[in-house]
């Protein structure tokens, strides 16, 4: 394990609520709480929140940042454009590299960790950033299981798009 503490990357998820706006999910709130504990335990100096807003409202990243009650020492970075896990990885990478990060801890739900591991190790690993994963205690819903199964079919295409995006930067 590297001598410097890992940066924390927090992956968003949201759902439409009754008024038609998107709010981070209960599981996402637990992911933020778990990221707070990890940042405190590890002494992380950078935390990246990544996630978009599908309706032009407050992004998942901004909602997670507003929820943060963890240590005040880390730099809290908001990446508000990623709408897929591959985009989370591709758009967090430059933010990490700009800050000299060589080691990251991705915090997500247990159901999401398989796909996140596949994508983040590919995208960040190609650029010299080692990645570990930590999950929050979140019970999967039937809808989340269906979502993850469907999302697995798009990983190859999304990885190619992420690599292409990074080549243009």
Q: What is the pLDDT of residues 142-168, one digit of tens each?
A: 777 777 777 778 888 888 988 988 887
Which pTM was predicted?
0.89
2, pLDDT greater than 60: no
Higher pLDDT, 169 or 2: 169
Q: What is the pLDDT of residues 13-71, one digit of tens each?
A: 876 666 767 787 888 899 999 999 999 999 999 999 999 998 888 899 999 999 999 99
Please, how many CA atoms are within 13 Å of residue 68, restricted to the half-sphere of its CB? 27
3-state secondary structure 95-155: HHHHCCCCEEEEEECCCCHHHHHHHHHHHHHCCCCEEEEEECCCCCCHHHHHHHHHHHCCH
3-state secondary structure of 164: helix
Report d(CA 65, CA 141) in Å as an integer: 24
pLDDT attached to residue 26: 87
Closest CA to 30 of 135, 103, 152: 135
Q: What is the pLDDT of residues 65-121, one digit of tens each?
A: 999 999 999 999 999 999 999 999 999 999 999 999 999 999 998 888 988 999 999
pLDDT attached to residue 1: 47
């Amino acid at each position: 394990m590297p001598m410097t503490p890992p940066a924390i990357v927090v992956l968003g998820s949201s759902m439409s609520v009754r008024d038609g706006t998107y709010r981070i999910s209960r599981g996402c709130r637990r992911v933020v709480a778990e990221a707070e504990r990890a940042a405190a335990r590890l002494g992380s100096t950078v935390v990246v929140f990544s996630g978009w807003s599908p309706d032009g409202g407050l992004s998942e990243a901004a909602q997670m940042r507003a929820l943060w009650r963890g240590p005040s020492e880390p730099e809290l970075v908001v990446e508000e454009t990623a709408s897929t896990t591959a985009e989370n990885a591709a758009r967090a990478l430059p933010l990490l590299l700009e800050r000299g990060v060589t080691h990251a801890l991705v915090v997500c739900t247990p159901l999401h960790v398989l796909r996140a591991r596949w994508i983040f190790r590919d995208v960040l690993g190609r650029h010299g950033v080692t990645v570990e994963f930590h999950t929050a205690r979140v019970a999967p819903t039937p809808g989340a299981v269906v979502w993850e199964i469907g999302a697995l079919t798009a990983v190859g295409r999304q990885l190619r798009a992420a690599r292409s995006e990074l080549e243009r930067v």
